[in-house]
């Protein structure tokens, strides 16, 4: 047993260091950094490059990457991004950090190249010496982990209590406003906190490297484990987060002891422990803090919901019915006529893929655009749809149409389940819950042999309906177009209906909405169910395009890239979902056609940067360009026109 505890402490120490950095930046700037693991990965990759590829001294490399580059990178992120998010809503901040999550590893690969090595070394170098402690075998790398964790804990504790910087951080965390009143600029302190947070992430990354392979997935586990730790600590303070990390690590290792090695059913549990713990902690500890007497949380309404919203592109009234038809007519002509007529078979295939992806993206339009909820598990739901249709249509041999609908239904049931679990949580915790559920599905359901089929997947073929065989390129394209149109119509109906009005009201001012009789939790559960159904059907379509239902094509990390793409183009509009789907299919192909293999991750990097750009300009990328265009126009015509200004300092209205 003690062996498991000690190895749990080793793993837990890394989680603890990462979790501490996460809570530090969260408390001092209110930004929950989804990109925390990505920063760890970047620093680790850089360390690998210096120490193993260029053969620099490993300690020198560590110092350069962890204590020089990482803090500089933290300051850069603060200056370029986080400083501008102080007054943004939680959703905007989520989108920005998800953009980091997507962009940073892609950029790291662009810079350092892809090196699929499994032989990564830590500070202890190759063949580290082994020690026997309390009947446990530890190598030097693991001893370093424990050592550094101890040093970090002591150093941070001392810093907080005894240094000026520590005092400043505690003051800013306690009250940014009072800090300003005594003459301290909270932004400056925030900058320091980001430098320190990035350093801690970097340290965790470098320490993790010898224990796992140097790939993004392992670091995602680190990320989620640190999420679990901070949720356990209720985001309150650094020491609790540190202890939370240790607890997560120990539990993860102890579970290994109790899972029989040959059990196929439980095989997925061990690597999933961080995700399982995250979901459990969220469920028990995550309820929005209900002040005695406040009903808001109990109704599925986040009492701290702010008005500015990533899903709000420049607030426009809904266009009249006729005016909305114009873009539809244009798109209709392009997609139904021009594309099949003028594109060759290869490009037709890409557009088909784009349409299937766009169908999945419609689910974002429903859950995020309409209901205002960030769901990071849509890819998992699409995967469930794909798996289900593989079973129903191929394994059971049922006809295709009912199989697809049933597959959508399976996804919908899961979606409703997630909704029920998370309905009382605030924006951030809902995002985390959907992320956790997605990862759980991926690790426990996707890996089931029957579905995964040795990474080949279950074959799925386009159906024959009556005389029409949809396996032909053209007919299949029209099938996908038809499915997209039907679901787009459903979403369009929703937007323009009374329920759409209720959703708009709920998004804008959830508390006011309840006093009119609107029931937010009901709306959200419905939205989750509908979005899941759409995602499931989209997953079926994508599986048909790929001729197989392969779960790993629906990984949660891919889902986050999807989210970044749609967020960039517009979470609210159906057209944006369509363009996003087509872009996602077509753009990487264009890149790989014209640029060499080294630029393979460029599209992903751009998608991530796009999400970040949108977070900086929540009115939408289009509106941003419109603003820039207008600015240029004004300059050219020589007019100095001062736009009506709302005072910048308006952040707080007076208390009654």
Partner 1 sequence: MQRNAADDRRPQGGQTDTLLEVRGLSVAYGAAPAVTRVSFELPAGKAVVVLGPNGAGKSSLARAITGLVKPTEGSVLFCGEDVTGMAAHKLARRGISLVPEDRGIFRGLSVMDNLRMALRNGVARNRREASLDKVLTLFPVLGSRRRQIAGTLSGGEQQMLALARVMAGEARVLVVDEPSLGLAPQLVDRVYEALSALRASGLSLLLIEQFVERALDFGDDACLLSHGRVELHGPPSEVRDDILKSYLGRAEEAGATASAPDGLPAGVNLQTA
Partner 2 sequence: MTATVPVPDTASQDAAEVVAQASGISVSFGGVRALIDVDISIPPSAIVGLVGPNGAGKTTLLGVMSGLTRPSAGRVAVGGADLTGGNPQKFAARGVARTFQHAGLFGEVTVRDHLVLAHRLVHRNHHILTDILGLGYGPRSSDENQTVDEVMHTLGLDDCARRLPNEIPLGTRRLVEVAQALLCQPRLLLLDEPSAGLDTAETQAFNKVLQQARQRYGFSVLLVEHDLDFVLAASSLLYVLDFGHIIGVGAPREVLNSADVRRAYLGSSAAVPA
Beta bridge partners of 137: 132
Nearby residues of 373 by Cβ (< 8 Å), 6 or more positions away: 367, 427, 430, 524, 527, 528
Q: How far is the CB of 158 from partner 1 (least distance, A)?
A: 15
Q: Does 655 bind partner 1 (CB under 8 A)?
A: yes
Query: Residue 494: which of partner 2, partner 1, none does it interact with, CB under 5 to 8 A by kind?
Result: partner 2
Pull the structure tokens for residue 444.
């426990």
- 83: burial class by Cβ within 10 Å (0-12, 13-18, 19+)? middle
Query: Residue 516: which of partner 2, partner 1, none does it interact with, CB under 5 to 8 A by kind?
Result: partner 2
Q: Choose between 75 and 416: whose C-beta lies nearer to partner 1.
A: 75
Closest CA to 505 of 492, 490, 518: 518
Return residues touching partner 2 (CB under 8 A): 291-296, 298-299, 307, 312, 315-317, 489-490, 493-494, 496-502, 504-505, 507-509, 511-519, 526, 530, 653, 655-656
Beta bridge partners of 464: 469
Beta bridge partners of 582: none
Which residues, 148 to 187, sit near partner 1 by CB under 8 A? 164-165, 167-168, 170-171, 173-175, 177-185
Q: How far is the CB of 189 from partner 1 (least distance, A)?
A: 8
Q: How far is the CB of 360 from partner 1 (least distance, A)?
A: 39
Q: Does 192 bind partner 1 (CB under 8 A)?
A: yes
Q: Choose between 72 and 178: whose C-beta lies nearer to partner 1.
A: 178
Give the residue carrying structure tokens 């308006």. Answer: 650
Q: How far is the CB of 491 from partner 2 (least distance, A)?
A: 8
Query: Residue 184: which of partner 2, partner 1, none does it interact with, CB under 5 to 8 A by kind?
Result: partner 1
C-alpha to C-alpha distance for 46 and 202, rounded to whole angstroms: 10
Hey, how many other C-beta atoms are within 10 angstroms of the C-beta on 111? 12
Q: Choose between 118 and 292: whose C-beta lies nearer to partner 2.
A: 292
The sign of the torsion formed by the CA atoms of 406, 479, 573, 428 equals positive
Element (H, E) at 620: none
Contact 650, 308 (CB under 8 A): no
Q: Choose between 112 and 165: whose C-beta lies nearer to partner 1.
A: 165
Query: Residue 452: which of partner 1, partner 2, none does it interact with, CB under 5 to 8 A by kind?
Result: none
Closest CA to 483 of 345, 578, 579: 578
Stretch in the footprint of partner 1 (CB under 8 A) among 38-46, 101-109, 188-196, 599-607: 188-196
Q: How far is the CB of 170 from partner 1 (least distance, A)?
A: 6
Q: How far is the CB of 509 from partner 1 (least distance, A)?
A: 15
Pull the structure tokens for residue 156.
């941070």
Q: Choose between 128 and 192: whose C-beta lies nearer to partner 1.
A: 192
Strands 130-133 and 136-139: antiparallel
Q: Does 315 bind partner 1 (CB under 8 A)?
A: no
* ∠ CA 486-490-491, rounded to 5°: 120
> How many chain residues interact with partner 1 (CB under 8 A)?
32
Query: Residue 490: which of partner 2, partner 1, none does it interact with, CB under 5 to 8 A by kind?
Result: partner 2
Which residues, 631 to 650, sit near partner 1 by CB under 8 A? 646-650
C-alpha to C-alpha distance for 547 and 536, rounded to whole angstroms: 16
Q: Choose between 172 and 225: whose C-beta lies nearer to partner 1.
A: 172
Beta bridge partners of 468: 465
- 398: burial class by Cβ within 10 Å (0-12, 13-18, 19+)? middle
* ∠ CA 197-203-205, rounded to 5°: 105
C-alpha to C-alpha distance for 247 and 232, rounded to whole angstroms: 9
Q: How far is the CB of 23 from partner 2 (least distance, A)?
A: 23
Q: How far is the CB of 488 from partner 2 (least distance, A)?
A: 12
Query: Residue 1: which of partner 2, partner 1, none does it interact with, CB under 5 to 8 A by kind?
Result: none
Q: How far is the CB of 619 from partner 2 (least distance, A)?
A: 13
Beta bridge partners of 548: 459
Q: Choose between 189 and 389: whose C-beta lies nearer to partner 1.
A: 189
Q: How far is the CB of 26 from partner 1 (least distance, A)?
A: 16
Query: Residue 171: which of partner 2, partner 1, none does it interact with, CB under 5 to 8 A by kind?
Result: partner 1
Element (H, E) at 373: none
- Outline where 81-139 has alpha helix (H): 90-112
Query: Residue 489: which of partner 1, partner 2, none does it interact with, CB under 5 to 8 A by kind?
Result: partner 2
- Residues near partner 1 (CB under 8 A) are 164-165, 167-168, 170-171, 173-175, 177-185, 188-189, 192, 646-656
């Amino acid at each position: 047993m003690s062996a498991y505890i000690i190895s749990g402490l080793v793993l837990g120490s890394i989680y603890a260091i990462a979790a501490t950095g996460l809570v530090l930046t969260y408390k001092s700037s209110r930004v929950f950094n989804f990109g925390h693991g990505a920063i760890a990965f970047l620093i680790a990759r850089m360390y690998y490059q210096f120490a193993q590829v260029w053969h620099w001294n490993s300690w020198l490399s560590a110092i350069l990457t962890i204590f020089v580059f990482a803090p500089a990178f933290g300051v850069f992120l603060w200056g370029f991004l986080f400083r501008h998010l102080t007054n943004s809503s939680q959703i905007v901040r989520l989108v920005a950090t998800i953009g980091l999550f997507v962009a940073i590893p892609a950029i790291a690969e662009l810079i350092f190249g892809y090196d699929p090595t499994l032989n990564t070394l830590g500070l202890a170098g190759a063949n580290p010496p082994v020690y026997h402690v309390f009947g446990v075998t530890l190598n030097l790398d693991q001893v370093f982990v424990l050592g550094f964790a101890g040093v970090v804990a002591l150093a941070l504790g001392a810093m907080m209590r005894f240094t000026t910087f520590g005092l400043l951080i505690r003051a800013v965390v306690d009250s940014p406003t009072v800090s300003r009143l005594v003459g301290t600029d909270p932004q400056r302190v925030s900058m320091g906190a980001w430098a320190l947070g990035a350093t801690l992430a970097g340290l965790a990354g470098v320490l993790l490297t010898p224990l796992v392979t140097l790939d993004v997935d392992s670091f995602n586990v680190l990320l989620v484990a640190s999420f679990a730790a901070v949720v356990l600590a209720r985001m309150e303070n650094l020491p609790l987060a540190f202890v939370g990390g240790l607890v997560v690590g120990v539990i993860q290792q102890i579970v290994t002891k109790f899972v029989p090695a040959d059990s196929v059913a439980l095989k997925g549990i061990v690597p999933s422990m961080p995700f399982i713990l995250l979901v459990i902690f969220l469920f028990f500890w995550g309820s929005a803090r209900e002040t005695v007497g406040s009903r808001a949380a109990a109704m599925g309404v986040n009492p701290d919901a702010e008005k500015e919203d990533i899903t709000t592109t420049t607030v426009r009234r809904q266009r009249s019915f006729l005016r909305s038809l114009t873009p539809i007519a244009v798109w209709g002509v392009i997609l139904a006529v021009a594309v099949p007529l003028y594109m060759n078979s290869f490009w037709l295939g890409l557009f088909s893929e784009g349409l299937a992806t766009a169908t999945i993206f419609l689910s974002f339009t429903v859950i995020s655009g309409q209901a205002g909820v960030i769901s990071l598990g849509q890819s998992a739901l699409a995967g469930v749809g794909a798996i289900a249709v593989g079973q129903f249509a191929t394994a059971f041999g049922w006809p295709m149409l009912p199989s697809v609908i049933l597959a959508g239904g399976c996804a919908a049931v899961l979606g409703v389940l997630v909704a029920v679990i998370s309905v009382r949580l605030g924006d951030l915790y809902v995002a985390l819950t959907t992320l956790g559920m997605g990862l759980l599905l991926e690790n426990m359901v996707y890996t089931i042999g029957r579905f995964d089929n040795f990474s080949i997947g279950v074959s799925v073929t386009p159906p024959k309906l009556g005389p029409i065989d949809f396996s032909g390129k053209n007919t299949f394209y029209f099938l996908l177009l038809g499915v997209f149109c039907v679901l787009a119509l459903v979403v369009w109906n929703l937007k323009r209906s009374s329920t759409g009005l209720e959703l708009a009201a709920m998004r804008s001012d959830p508390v006011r909405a309840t006093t009119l009789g609107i029931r937010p939790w009901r709306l959200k559960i419905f939205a989750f169910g509908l979005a899941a159904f759409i995602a499931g059907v989209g997953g079926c379509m994508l599986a048909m395009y790929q001729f197989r239902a392969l779960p790993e094509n629906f990984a949660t990390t891919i889902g986050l890239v999807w989210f970044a793409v749609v967020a960039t183009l517009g979470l609210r509009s159906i057209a944006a979902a369509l363009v996003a789907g087509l872009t996602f299919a077509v753009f990487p192909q264009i890149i790989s056609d014209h640029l060499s293999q080294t630029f393979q991750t460029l599209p992903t990097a751009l998608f991530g940067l796009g999400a970040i750009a949108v977070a900086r300009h929540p009115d939408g990328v289009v509106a941003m360009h419109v603003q820039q265009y207008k600015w240029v126009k004004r300059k050219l015509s020589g007019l100095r026109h001062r736009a009506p200004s709302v005072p910048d300092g308006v952040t707080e209205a007076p208390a009654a």
